[in-house]
Amino acid sequence: MEAYVQQRTAVRIVRVVDDICLLTPDPEAALAARGHVTTFFQTCGLTLNDDKFGAACIGGQVPAAMAGPLPRWGMLALDDQGAWSVHEPSFQQHLAQSRRNVTATAAVLSKVDVFNTDLTHLTRAVALDADLGDRHRAQVNAALVRFVDDYFGPGQGLVEALCEDIIALEGPLAGAEKQSRPQAVPEAWLYWPVTAGGLGLSNPHVLAGQYAEAVRHRRDKVVVPQGPAEAGWNTRDNQWARYYRQLLEPLEPAAPTDTAATRSLTQDFIARGTTISQGAQTTLTAYWRWILSVYGPEIRERFGTFRFLNTELVPLQLLGARRTDSHAAAGDPWTFDADTPPF
């Protein structure tokens, strides 16, 4: 198809597997290319999926014959100003599917696994680690927060539902037992690592925040070039080329600033992970450093210590099998490395 179109029309084609993009500054060439694509597929006995086809003219108007949906990439849509935003129908579809999967799961840990896997898919589909502008960043942050805070509907979050499931497991309590029970499940415990005694729920607020910090502190950022386009602007190594190259550079999530207290806690967790993984765990990712920094004080206040689960009691084989089963489809096997610390 690419060869067929390029032999007949001067367009640039960018393709990643089955995602295809046709680029041209000439509206007539765009119309011709669309026609050649349609003809090629018809000859093969195929038709274009109009639900997945989109067109945009950055800074101008799309030819009337091509008017329709905007181009989409994952759960993002591109507007005529070159800005990426979350495609709301795709987001809602993913949220509804995740909600059905979680609701159909009985065990609390299994619910967490399903949610974590679906959240990982969401972060990839909205390009969380890409610096695509302020509008993209704001919409992605809001989508991640909504994914947990409005999981079962507006104001009906997943965290509250999990707490209710956990409390229900205790069964009916009366008398002194009921009075001595904490009024709520500690929020910090929900996000604490499973192998350290917590539930291991992924925190969208922390995920969004660490990349927002990375954007805020990014150095030597290349801005969108301004002014009239020079000859060869889209073929030469110039300011536009540098701008687009930067868009391909994934962001490294920012870690919190170390203090004496957090430094000691981090070292203790690395040492614990080293023991559990027999030396394979040597560091902590930025995400887990944020979890320790944000929720460490509450854990210490509620449990009196960070080591409330002995390393000898961690069921590594059970946890490894459970994680492998729930993440295999997402290509995320459970391993002892910096990305999936075993502590």
Q: Considering 36, 69, 102, which residue would you say is the last residue of a domain?
A: 69
Do 123 and 57 fall within a single domain?
no
Dihedral angle sign, alpha carbons of residues 311, 315, 321, 327? negative
pLDDT at residue 290, rounded to an integer: 93
Give the mean pLDDT of 181-199: 80
> Do residues 163 and 101 share a domain?
yes
Examine the domain organization and report whether 203 and 160 are in the same domain. Answer: yes
d(CA 17, CA 297): 47
Would you tell me how many other CB atoms lie within 10 Å of the CB of residue 314? 20
Whether residues 129 and 177 fall in one domain: yes
pLDDT at 65: 86
Looking at per-residue confidence, does 170 or 47 come out higher? 47
- Number of domains within the chain: 2
Region 303-322 average pLDDT: 63
Are 9 and 133 part of one and the same domain? Answer: no
Q: CA-to-CA distance for 239 and 132, rounded, in angstroms? A: 16
Considering only residues 283 and 153, tell me which one the structure prediction assigns the higher pLDDT. 153
Q: Could you tell me if 282 and 206 lie in one domain?
A: yes
Is 300 part of any domain?
yes
SS3 assignment, position 192: coil
For residues 145-154, average pLDDT: 94
Cα separation of 7 and 218, whole Å? 42
- Do 266 and 140 fall within a single domain? yes
pLDDT over 90 at 29, yes or no: yes
Residue 83 counted as domain residue: no
Residue 226 inside a domain? The answer is no
Return the pLDDT at 150: 95
Residue 230 lies in a domain: no
Position 298 in a domain: yes
- What residue type is 190 in one-letter code? L
pLDDT band (50, 70, 90) for residue 139 = very high
pLDDT band at 43 (very low <50, low <70, confident <90, very high): very high
**Is 158 in the same domain as 301?**
yes
* Domain-located, residue 224: no
Judge whether 79 lies within some domain.
no
Considering the entire predicted model, what is its pTM?
0.82
d(CA 227, CA 14): 26
Nearest-angstrom CA–CA distance, 90 and 82: 20
What lies within 8 Å, CB to CB, of 319 at 6+ separation is 194, 195, 334
**What residue numbers bound the domain in which 57 lies?**
2-69
Shared domain for 209 and 267, answered yes or no, is yes
Q: What is the largest CA-CA distance in the chain?
A: 83
Mean pLDDT of the chain: 82
More confident of the two residues 220 and 332:
220
pLDDT > 70 in the chain, percent: 83
Does any domain span residue 106?
yes
- With beta carbons less than 8 A apart as the criterion, state whether 131 and 251 touch: yes
Region of residue 45 (left: phi > 0; alpha: psi -120 to 50; beta: else): left
